[in-house]
Structure 1
Amino acid sequence: MAWTRKILRVNLTQGTCSSEPLNMAWAAQYLGQRGLASKYLVSEIDPQVDPLSPENKLIYATGPLTGTMASTGGRYSVITKGPLTGAIACSNSGGYFGAELKSAGWDMIIFEGKSPQPVYLHIENQQATLLPADDLWGKTVWDTEGTLKKRHQDSLLRVSSIGRAGENQVLFAAIVNDLHRAAGRSGVGAVMGSKNLKAVAVRGTLGVGNIADPKAFMAAVTAGKKVLAENAVTGQGLPTYGTQVLMNVINEMGASPTRNHRDVQFEGARKISAEAMHEKRATDGRTHLVTNQACFGCTIACGRISRIDETHFSVQTKPEYWGANGGLEYESAWALGNANGVDDLEALQYANLLCNEDGMDPISFGATVGAVMELFELGILTREDIGLDAPFGSAAALCRLAEMTVRGEGFGKIVGQGSKRLCTQYGRPELSMTVKGQEFPAYDGRALQGMGLAYATSNRGACHLRGYVVSSEVFGIPVKTDPRDTDGKPELLKAFQDATAIVDSSGLCVFTTFAWTLNDIQPQIQAACPGDWSLESLLAMGERIWNLERDFNLAAGLSSKDDTLPPRLLTEPCKTGASKGMVAELGKMLPEYYRLRGWTPDGVPTTATRARLGL
């Protein structure tokens, strides 16, 4: 059956843990993970709820393929109402935690209420217990994981926790598992901190059984792994260079947002690229990159393990950062680097380590620093306001602001509220490069028209992973489209968004879709799960999930007015690159997107659409 058919419900206010059956009627409509947990969330909370109040809920969810032999089947998601956006939040993570939770016998954990004091949840198969975490409060993610493994005398314990960023209600705080894998975006860590929940520690030895058709499943899994191995991206590019392979590619085509989107090409990109991570340093003769690393069941292994230069100013007196640790991925390298004009690879690694160590989204953090640096250069923010000089290109300012933000010190408290609130506070809201309050990732919506539409319409705020049309616009996967064209982009994006909802709900990693189409994924789901999981039913499910999320956001107070981009992208043309002179042509694409979605001109799902999807 692929599902364990069990949910763990944890009432933090009362301090109770109880088991209940999974709603299989909902599972038949929403599959698992992102889709199914979103259905639970929208059914159980008021969309108008304050995200940081006890009335909000926090859901950990696996998919039916999580913990199985399917390649990349180690994913889990955290679903809640996000404090950064006020919209539905679903943040996906890899590592080993998700598979461990599934192997302990649980499809999902629903946290509700707020504990009167700090606690953590300890799960050993079917036994779940809330335990005091007073001594863990104030500790980093890394310290928390080490302490819990020692306390329970189990080196194989899998830990998902928040650091000081989550405790201090940084609105883009992350939840980190396995030291450097994260449910990173939209502030899910702040919600966890608001509930006085420090960590979830899991040990599962039950395994994942009940596959509907084991022989068919193994055949589909084996075929899928062969496709991944033979593909240039998943079999060669990502294992060798990780996502950082994109740094030079995106920059050279003029689609890399630089210095808070003032520019679309960064002259220092080469110094912080995947290629630079492979080069030997002059200081110690070692390469920045130590090795790659895979999550549970992954045959791609795109993760990076890096070693920081011990002579670098950021760590000269901090030997705790000298060893091998989680390395830069493209989004974090871009946000900490290009967005701020910083080309110091070691400074980026240090800031990224702080984000890992204390649970903070490096994309929103880095992009917010970009806004700070622009405000500083305009004279709106001063040295007295910030506590330091913060011009574009300052590696020292980047590192110091990272320290201040994770610790909740001084101006770091304002940075921790995100760029929308920061820029509004200082009278320049248009300098916040956000959609629905969430900062942009590493692709410019003027140079990549489809991504501009993807950002504007994403249900969780600006996001590349909800509809990665970069695959088509840059790599020609599954078909090549001109990044400067608007024609056909609404249809392309809708297809990507619906397909991604399927992948996110299955327990698989979206990176598989560089090689796989739904024709590779559908047989794995069909063999694992009883019932009808035909391509047609899966596509309807993906569309159903997208509309469910949209309904929640509308009820939460968002509207078509939030499906937009910052004025800079709509009115200030690209200065260089292949798209020189272009702005984001959102107005040409949005009406057609709404029509294809079956929404009114105001972006509301019609009665007919809701009926067709069973909403």
Structure 2
Amino acid sequence: MGNGWHGKVLRVNLTDKSCTVEPLNMEWAAAFIGGRGLASKYLTSEVDATVDPFSSENKMILATGPLTGTYGAANGRYMVVTKSPLTGTIACSNSGGYFPCELKYAGYDLVIIEGKAESPVYLKIKNGEAELADAGHLWGKTTAETEDAIRAEFHGDAKVACIGPAGESLVRYACIVNDKHRAAGRSGVGAVMGSKNLKAVAVRGTGGVATADNAAFRAAARDTLKMLRQHPVTSEGLPALGTAVLVNIINQSGALPTRNSQCGTFDKAEDISGERLAQTFLKRNKGCMGCVIACGRVTRLTDPRFSGAGEGPEYETLWSLGAACGVSDLAAIVQANYLCDEYGMDTITMGSTVACAMELYERGLLGDADTGMPLKFGDADAMVRLVEMTGKGEGFGVRAGLGSYRLAESCGAPELSMSVKKQEFPAYDGRAIQGMGLEYATSNRGACHVRGYLVSPEILGVPEKLDPEAVAGKAVWAKAFQDVTAVVDSAGVCLFTTFGIGIPQVTRLFNAATGYGYSDEQMMEIGDRIYTLERLFNLKAGIDPSQDTLPKRILEEPLPDGPLKGAVSHLPEMLAEYYDVRGWEKGIPTAAKVKSLGLA
């Protein structure tokens, strides 16, 4: 088409083994951009919100954005949108690497996967042609083994996104791993893929992405690149230490959830920090395709207890498998991270579930007869063992594969799950960072840090410094960050770019690529539209406003340590204002709001 979009949707019916191409709905593309927004529009239009996520009636959509695969800075993302088996909400999981651009170069904006195969298959896509191939020989293999086998069949040319044994056994937080180490990580999208007997998607694409105004796009890309190279976060912090640069920063802020959020600081944070990783196992940094930030960490274990090499761990993983579990053994954390990649599991939910299990064990709500081993905070060996058991679907790992909420609920203590809408919150304590508590509570996919990262202003001072203890005005900031994120996700741009650029730059790139003439305000309205659409789906799915809350621990138990000792989340004070700012009446979008966004 010559305007960022190819204008093509690949629809794959696993039940009847058909692969058909249909035109992209360009009215929807204009209203929802691509990626997260456009895939959400297709999913909510085609899938009953009350469907069982593991039913053949659920669909899974792989979506690129109009900027995916274009030259410039960090324009290499894709989204997986489906109904989540972990939360029951709409799920949208984001990944980078090389697979997203390859999918775009193969000629598709979206791949809609529906039905269920009778036996394991994988999807082969090559420059506009697609077919299903037998995957019986791949079932049971790890993600790395699967990718190697498929690439051999493609003579080494394919980019692969696949599930590991965790997705096959329907671990509710199984992820989809591409390029061996990049993951569409959260909400269990890999389990949905496994429920459909789809082992992998392999893509070879040699086309490009045409833009409407090449000169304008080159200028916009050049200026964006310059801004990223000048900002300290994207030019220094992330390239030097990756996201792990945050371990010491967040710990010193008193916001590092420790031992299942019983504390806000970890006395051994230095041992699991980005600085320590750089001194020990780090070999080099690595970027996704076309990325100038290169925040990825290529690592190799030298500890005699373990062996292996891979990527990561990132900040969230260092926290979830480290501080959250009271574990300071960096080698064990790196090993557990590798296992999560191999088996295909979200490290945030995995580590948080281990932490929850440890507290349940220490409180006597789980015993050795349940777990098969002692399970105490600080026990690195037990942490690694439980990760492996979960990936293999062995013993207590089967229960751990349900996630922390269902595990804690089965022990009569759901309040010990540090989650929102059954999805575990990430590495920031909502008592110490008030805005993040509001973000967790109102996120459409359950607790999340990449739906509105208020850590940026509250802790890092980007784009301006906010007081993390303050409550006033946080609702306005939360909505703005959530809407910006929806736009960035839909365009196909990495969220990390927003440390150095903003909506004006994304709008400029989008307009040059597509030929549209949107204003910044119109782009923000699209973000609002996407966020509200997701909310409407969740309401139909039975996710009511009462679930816009936080665990009792965060609301009622004061932080016992750190610079913000004594703090609790003031969510109730922020939530009413948030609903008002959104145009939602008691958490439900008003008829006027729905109509104004064109969603009626």
Please indicate the TM-score interval, normalised by the length of the shorter structure: over 0.9
Match of 1:296 in 2: 289
- Does residue 175 of structure 2 align to residue 174 of structure 1? yes
- Does residue 595 of structure 2 align to residue 611 of structure 1? yes
- Determine if contact 2:53/2:84 at 8 Å carries over to the other structure: yes
Once the 2 structures are TM-superposed, how far is the Cα of residue 379 of structure 1 from its aligned partner?
1.2
SS at match of 2:588: coil
Match of 1:425 in 2: 410
Distance, in Å, in 1 between the alignment partners of 2:365 and 2:106 is: 53
Give the counterpart letter for 2:152 in structure 1.
Answer: K
Give the counterpart letter for 1:373 in structure 2.
Answer: M
SS at match of 1:79: strand
Give the counterpart letter for 1:592 in structure 2.
Answer: E
SS at match of 1:200: strand
The CA deviation string for residues 479-531 of structure 1, in whole angstroms up to 9 with x for no partner, is 11100000110001100000000000000000001111112211111100122
Match of 1:283 in 2: none
- Does residue 185 of structure 2 align to residue 184 of structure 1? yes
Distance, in Å, in 1 between the alignment partners of 2:473 and 2:457 is: 12
Distance, in Å, in 2 between the alignment partners of 1:123 and 1:499 is: 32
CA RMSD of aligned residues (A): 0.7
Q: Choose which of 354, 364, 367 in structure 2 pairs with 1:369.
A: 354
SS at match of 2:57: coil
- Does residue 300 of structure 2 align to residue 307 of structure 1? yes
Give the counterpart letter for 1:413 in structure 2.
Answer: V
Q: Choose which of 535, 560, 572 in structure 2 pairs with 1:587.
A: 572
SS at match of 2:584: coil
Match of 1:76 in 2: 78
Distance, in Å, in 2 between the alignment partners of 1:22 and 1:519 is: 26
- Unpaired runs of at least 5, structure 1: 280-286, 316-320
- Does residue 13 of structure 2 align to residue 7 of structure 1? no
Pairwise mapping of residues 103-122 of structure 1 onto structure 2 (< 5 A)?
103-122=105-124
Distance, in Å, in 1 between the alignment partners of 2:249 and 2:302 is: 26
Match of 1:282 in 2: none
Distance, in Å, in 2 between the alignment partners of 1:310 and 1:205 is: 41
Give the counterpart letter for 2:596 in structure 1.
Answer: R
SS at match of 1:111: strand
Once the 2 structures are TM-superposed, how far is the Cα of residue 594 of structure 1 from its aligned partner?
0.2
- Unpaired runs of at least 5, structure 2: none
Q: Choose which of 296, 310, 313 in structure 2 pairs with 1:325.
A: 310
Number of residue equivalences: 597
SS at match of 2:254: coil
Q: Choose which of 427, 430, 435 in structure 2 pairs with 1:445.
A: 430
Match of 2:271 in 1: 271
SS at match of 2:299: strand
SS at match of 1:221: helix
- Determine if contact 1:102/1:208 at 8 Å carries over to the other structure: yes
Give the counterpart letter for 2:525 in structure 1.
Answer: A
Distance, in Å, in 2 between the alignment partners of 1:70 and 1:462 is: 31
Give the counterpart letter for 2:591 in structure 1.
Answer: T
Match of 1:532 in 2: 517
Once the 2 structures are TM-superposed, how far is the Cα of residue 156 of structure 1 from its aligned partner?
2.8
SS at match of 2:97: coil
Distance, in Å, in 2 between the alignment partners of 1:386 and 1:427 is: 16
The CA deviation string for residues 579-598 of structure 1, in whole angstroms up to 9 with x for no partner, is 11110001100000000000
Give the counterpart letter for 1:256 in structure 2.
Answer: L
Distance, in Å, in 2 between the alignment partners of 1:562 and 1:347 is: 35
Q: Choose which of 43, 46, 55 in structure 2 pairs with 1:44.
A: 46
Pairwise mapping of residues 67-466 of structure 1 onto structure 2 (< 5 A)?
67-153=69-155, 155-209=156-210, 211-279=211-279, 287-312=280-305, 315=306, 321-322=307-308, 324-466=309-451
- Determine if contact 2:488/2:495 at 8 Å carries over to the other structure: yes
Distance, in Å, in 2 between the alignment partners of 1:432 and 1:19 is: 43
SS at match of 1:474: helix
SS at match of 1:244: helix
Give the counterpart letter for 2:207 in structure 1.
Answer: L
Match of 2:21 in 1: 19
- Determine if contact 1:258/1:340 at 8 Å carries over to the other structure: yes
Match of 2:452 in 1: 467
- Determine if contact 1:526/1:534 at 8 Å carries over to the other structure: no
- Determine if contact 2:313/2:337 at 8 Å carries over to the other structure: yes
Give the counterpart letter for 2:184 in structure 1.
Answer: A
Q: Please, which moves more after superposition, 301-310 or 75-84? A: 301-310
Q: TM-score, normalised by structure 2?
A: 0.99
Q: TM-score, normalised by structure 1?
A: 0.96
The 4+ residue runs of structure 1 with deviation greater than 3 A are: none
The CA deviation string for residues 441-460 of structure 1, in whole angstroms up to 9 with x for no partner, is 00000000000000000000
Match of 1:55 in 2: 57
- Determine if contact 1:335/1:363 at 8 Å carries over to the other structure: yes
- Determine if contact 2:303/2:331 at 8 Å carries over to the other structure: no
Distance, in Å, in 2 between the alignment partners of 1:576 and 1:486 is: 21
Match of 1:31 in 2: 33
Q: Choose which of 500, 508, 518 in structure 2 pairs with 1:515.
A: 500
Once the 2 structures are TM-superposed, how far is the Cα of residue 70 of structure 1 from its aligned partner?
2.3
Distance, in Å, in 1 between the alignment partners of 2:467 and 2:143 is: 43
Distance, in Å, in 1 between the alignment partners of 2:267 and 2:580 is: 41
SS at match of 1:332: helix
Match of 1:573 in 2: 558
Once the 2 structures are TM-superposed, how far is the Cα of residue 325 of structure 1 from its aligned partner?
1.1
Give the counterpart letter for 1:88 in structure 2.
Answer: I
- Determine if contact 2:122/2:132 at 8 Å carries over to the other structure: yes
Distance, in Å, in 2 between the alignment partners of 1:578 and 1:520 is: 37
The CA deviation string for residues 337-362 of structure 1, in whole angstroms up to 9 with x for no partner, is 01000000000001000100111000
Distance, in Å, in 2 between the alignment partners of 1:274 and 1:504 is: 26
Give the counterpart letter for 1:156 in structure 2.
Answer: D
The CA deviation string for residues 370-420 of structure 1, in whole angstroms up to 9 with x for no partner, is 010001111111112101111000001001001100000010000000011
- Does residue 58 of structure 2 align to residue 65 of structure 1? no
Give the counterpart letter for 1:291 in structure 2.
Answer: R
Give the counterpart letter for 2:594 in structure 1.
Answer: R
Give the counterpart letter for 2:372 in structure 1.
Answer: G
Match of 1:496 in 2: 481
